[in-house]
Amino acid sequence: MSYSKPQFKEKYGNFINGKFVDPVGGAYFENRSPVDNSLIAKYPRSQKEDVEAALDAANAAKDSWGNTSAAERSTLLNKVADIIEANLEEFALVETCDNGKPIRETLNADIPLSVDHWHYFAACIRAEEGSATELDANTLSMNIREPLGVVAQIIPWNFPLLMLSWKLPPALAAGNCVVLKPAEQTPASATLLMEKIADVFPPGVVNIIHGFGPEAGKPLASSAKVNKVAFTGETTTGQLIMQYASKNLNPVTMELGGKSPNIFFNSVMDADDDYLDKAIEGAVLFAFNQGEVCTCPSRILVQDGIYDKFMERVVARTNAIVQANPYDTTTMVGAQASNDQFEKIKSYLNIGKEEGAKVLCGGEANKLDGDLANGFYIKPTILEGHNKMRVFQEEIFGPVVCVTRFSDEAEAVEIANDTLYGLGAGVWTRDAHQLYQIPRAIKAGRVWVNCYHAYPAHAPFGGYKKSGFGRENHQMMLNYYRQTKNMLISY
């Protein structure tokens, strides 16, 4: 089945104080689809004045919103989930058009997962109970949680609606007002969501500001009108955001880059065919969803005993991947999200070749037919080399997997941990001892064992080392958006 490009208006505004408004300076930027480089629409090129207007709206709304009951907030979060679900196909199409990922992914993963995150935090906030204990017969000790006030959220382009849905629900459930800046490469689904839910929250509770990092993101993260900054994006940008927020002594959460290892032990080849097929898919498909996933298993480590046989199957499976029109439901791999990203990946392919990595498959751009020839497609690529190479160490964020071998458990762990990052990791083994001991030894916030790329709302997610700090998802997330007050009440 094939879909086609959805319809857009000529231009869209920021969403501030419950309505769409033009940017103060009147400047817009063109947003283009990476599928075929066609124009999608124009979005506000917001500046400090726009950010200030959104922050003023959020500050005006915060006391009233912060005093709503958990039940009221929970009802509204569930309403958002229902609205996204009722328009699932429209959101999926807009996301595919804006980001280039295949409709198979947006229909089956990005949008349904977004729905679930809204429902999850609607449930969490209701399930909470306050705690009160007696200090003595006359004194009650009570902890209450209060919202922080106004939260700035800045998100990347790789999962536009899902990253928004990781960020907004816990902040709103905890009683905060939010100003969120989507990535300039993918403003469309956040805008569509505001169109659909414009009347759900009181004005000022949710505000969306479009624009570029230095022009709109920086004044947002630096503002004294903000009580917290939650950021997802590149590690180097995260370092800047921390500097901006530190001026106001504001807390930050940092969800940053990764270079995740996916480790295959000898026992993988002894297992039954079903398991082996799953492991091959684990090496291939989870790496090649454009490779634009922070936890992309971009380093494959294979034990000596199975290296040749296993890699033969991995390469054959990679060569069979269908990279085609992202609007076709049979397409496995779509377009890279932008021309910049496309150029960056091609430059890393050159770096890899220059430093001596062997190209096992792919290794170049893919010129598709017709209008798609203008889109940004890179062939799924496997580079063979060693872990000290730049292509093994630096985040390429494309469909480029680097493979190397190891002899024993100690070496597997050493290579896995030999990177600045610590976001995700995969371990594939049939050995009971390794099931637990290898994940324990890996310095990463999420380790999948005999699976990969599941992101349930209840599983805490976040980085070690330069992949960031703080966690997303799980009920604990609410406390990243609140402060605790203890009251000792004597009578």
Q: Which residues are catalytic?
A: 255, 294
Does the protein bind ligand NAD through residue 99 (CB under 6 A)? no
How far apart are alpha carbons 54 and 217 in whole angstroms? 12
Reduced 3-state DSSP string for 276-328: HHHHHHHHHCCCCCCCCCCCCCCEEEEEHHHHHHHHHHHHHHHHCCCECCCCE
Within 36-75, which residues bind ligand NAD (CB under 6 A)? none
Query: In this chain, which of 6, 66, 149, 156 binds ligand NAD, going by CB under 6 A?
Result: 156
Q: Number of C-alpha atoms within 13 angstroms, CB side, residue 366?
A: 24
Q: Residue 301 interacts with ligand NAD (CB under 6 A)?
A: no
Strand 358-361 relative to strand 381-384, pairing: antiparallel
**Which of the ranges 66-74, 236-244, 303-311, 473-481 carries the binding residues for ligand NAD, by CB under 6 A?**
236-244
131-136: strand order across its sheet: 131-136, 139-147, 482-490
Which listed residue (206, 256, 360, 400) binds ligand NAD by CB under 6 A?
256
Query: CB-wise, 154 or 205, nearer to ligand NAD?
Result: 154
Nearer to ligand NAD by Cβ, of 375 and 445: the residue is: 445
Q: Select from 50, 110, 255, 409 the one that contacts ligand NAD (CB under 6 A).
A: 255
* Crossing angle for the helix pair 188-197 and 160-173, to the nearest 10 degrees: 50
Identify the residue whose tokens are 């089956």.
108
- Angle 261-265-268 from CA coordinates, rounded to 5°: 115
Query: Is-contact 240 222, C-beta < 8 A?
Result: no
Instruction: State in angstroms the smallest separation of the CB of 368 from ligand NAD.
Output: 24
Q: Which residue stretch of 74-82, 187-195, 211-219, 408-416 sits at the interface with ligand NAD (rule: CB under 6 A)?
A: 211-219
In angstroms, give the least distance from the CB of 258 to ligand NAD.
5
- 8 A C-beta contact, residue 348 and residue 389: no
> Is 218 a residue that touches ligand NAD (CB under 6 A)?
yes
From 12, 65, 157, 342, residue interacting with ligand NAD (rule: CB under 6 A): 157
Number of residues located near ligand NAD, criterion CB under 6 A: 30
Taking CA atoms, 346 is separated from 96, 336, 390, 423, in Å, by 22, 11, 14, 24
Q: Is 423 among the residues that bind ligand NAD (CB under 6 A)?
A: yes
DSSP secondary structure letter of residue 133:
E
Stretch that binds ligand NAD, among 47-55, 178-186, 321-329, 380-388 (CB under 6 A): 178-186
Among 81, 154, 206, 402, binds ligand NAD (CB under 6 A): 154
262 vs 325 by CB, closer to ligand NAD = 262
- Should residue 214 be labelled a site residue for ligand NAD when binding is judged by CB under 6 A? yes
Contact between 241 and ligand NAD (CB under 6 A)? yes
Asked whether position 422 contacts ligand NAD by CB under 6 A, the answer is no
CA-derived radius of gyration, the chain:
23
Of 144-152, 188-196, 230-238, 407-415, the window that binds ligand NAD (rule: CB under 6 A) is 230-238
Beta strands (DSSP E) in 366-449 are 381-384, 400-406, 421-422, 424-428, 446-449
Quick one: which of 147, 175, 217, 380 contacts ligand NAD (CB under 6 A)?
A: 217
Structural element, H or E, at residue 62: helix 48-66
Please report how close the Cβ of residue 47 comes to ligand NAD at its closest, in angstroms. Answer: 13
Residues 302 and 408: their CA atoms lie apart, in Å, by 10
Cα separation, 449 vs 435, in Å, equals 7
Smallest separation, CB 236 to ligand NAD (Å): 7
Could you give the string, one character per residue 341-360, with x where binding to ligand NAD holds by CB under 6 A and - elsewhere? Answer: --------------------
Q: Does 184 bind ligand NAD (CB under 6 A)?
A: yes
Buried b (16+ CB within 10 A) or exposed e, 123-150: bbbbeeeeeeeeeeeeeeeeeebebbbb
Site string for ligand NAD, 158-177 (x = CB under 6 A): x-------------------
User: Where does this chain bind ligand NAD (CB under 6 A)?
Assistant: 154-158, 181, 183-184, 212-214, 217-218, 221, 232-234, 237, 240-241, 255-258, 294, 395, 397, 423, 463, 468
